[in-house]
Structure 1
């Protein structure tokens, strides 16, 4: 009865740990960037609501542009991290490590776990477009 030496599996587990660490890092980046997005947009909408009653028309028009730019920049960085996660997952599957164990517990739920990260930058951008349209009506 020949069994593989424990050291034969060591490189697989080391690669698994390295890929899992990369995956976790990118997942944490998405979390932080979503928090930046929500906090920045909340502050910008609060300031915009305060300024919309003032007579500073150029600021009322400028805030939506700035809000769209902030949402776009953070959205691009979120999508970059999501792409990096897909690259890590591709490397994981190509190495055959899925036989050891799963990289992510969320793989069975489809892409619903990414829905907030993928859609919130567009939601905030659309809200700023509505604010801009309302500013032009006044």
Structure 2
């Protein structure tokens, strides 16, 4: 199978590095592009024809947060097949419900345990690989924590 094209948008360099280290340790072939804010992520989405299979989207970033990115991404038909995994270290039911309404496919609670993060990322990416376009488009939503 071809590599999973993954975008990670998170303003915290340590969190991005932790994610990438965990992804590199998985039995999957991935290609990862990092962004430290939502504006750069959106610029890349609009300027590149090679769209990602999945976006890991931190909810709390300066300039343009994950909620705003999600709404913008879901407002454009050309991005309808991108699987979006919103994540945060904080779980607030109201916000997670908002993510579901706004078109996220999955919510992932950040883990400080490397082993746990690997397990959650593997589960997440297995869902991405097995999902079909209808599930993405019709708003399948899962919470992993």
**TM-score if structure 2 supplies the norm length?**
0.19
Q: Which has the higher strand share?
A: 2
Q: Which has the bigger relative contact order, CA under 8 A and spacing at least 6? A: 1
Larger Rg: 1
* TM-score, length basis structure 1: 0.20
